[in-house]
């Protein structure tokens, strides 16, 4: 398409006369901007699609719960898998939270250290290694969420340890959430193949 502007802004923010730009550079610019216009339209269409699917799933869960007299299925996050009656199609919706810890995590570490120091030696050296590993800051500058939360699964009755676990719980904050929607079609061999639509980041 012909460019009707007298000037185009270059990558450094300078206005360049169109007459001074090589025809191939203009064609490239027009091709890229045209492609990106279509890309943004497709992105917006997928955002709308994601919203509609989410609402449709929530409406179904509400209706299903009402019919059974139960509370709404899927929990507060709406994690659920729905399968068509003939088994040909499957829809999975899940919300994954990214957890980070605030300053109370250091309170928990101090309480845990106090526990280990007050207990007899021996096996507790192994526990100290587990604890130190859980609180070790990785390359990203963050502790391992799974390892810290794993400490809460240890069956330790000590009141100070319990306070430490409570401090870990209080230190947890949801940094971000992503809604995952996965769509599957059953194949002739009975397996399900995912239809590749990446809407998690929208």
**4-31 confidence digits (pLDDT tens):** 579 999 999 999 999 999 999 999 999 9
For residue 38, the tally of other CB atoms under 10 A from its CB is 9
pLDDT bucket at 118, cuts 50 / 70 / 90: confident
What is the model's pLDDT at position 13?
A: 93
Q: What is the pLDDT of residues 153-194, one digit of tens each?
A: 888 888 999 999 999 988 988 887 788 899 999 999 999 999
Q: Residue 193 and residue 183: Cα distance in Å, rounded?
A: 8
- Measured CA to CA, the distance from residue 94 to residue 71 in angstroms comes to 18
């Amino acid at each position: 398409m012909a460019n009707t502007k007298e000037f185009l802004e270059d990558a450094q923010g300078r206005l360049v006369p169109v007459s001074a730009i090589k025809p191939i550079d203009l064609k490239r610019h027009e091709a890229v901007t045209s492609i990106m216009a279509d890309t943004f339209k497709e992105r917006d269409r997928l955002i709308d699609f994601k919203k509609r699917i989410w609402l449709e799933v929530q409406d179904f869960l509400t209706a299903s719960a009402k019919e059974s007299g139960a509370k709404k299925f899927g929990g507060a996050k709406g994690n659920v898998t729905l399968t068509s009656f003939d088994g040909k199609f499957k829809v999975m919706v899940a919300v994954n939270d990214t957890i980070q810890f605030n300053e109370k995590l250091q309170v928990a570490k101090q309480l845990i250290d106090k526990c280990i120091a007050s207990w007899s030696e021996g096996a507790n050296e192994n526990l100290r290694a587990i604890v130190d590993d859980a609180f070790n800051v990785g390359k990203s500058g963050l502790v391992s969420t799974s390892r810290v939360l794993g400490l809460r699964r240890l069956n330790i009755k000590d009141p100070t340890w319990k306070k430490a676990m409570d401090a870990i719980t209080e230190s947890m904050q949801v940094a971000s959430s992503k809604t995952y929607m996965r769509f599957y079609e059953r194949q002739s061999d009975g397996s399900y193949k995912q239809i590749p639509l990446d809407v998690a980041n929208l």
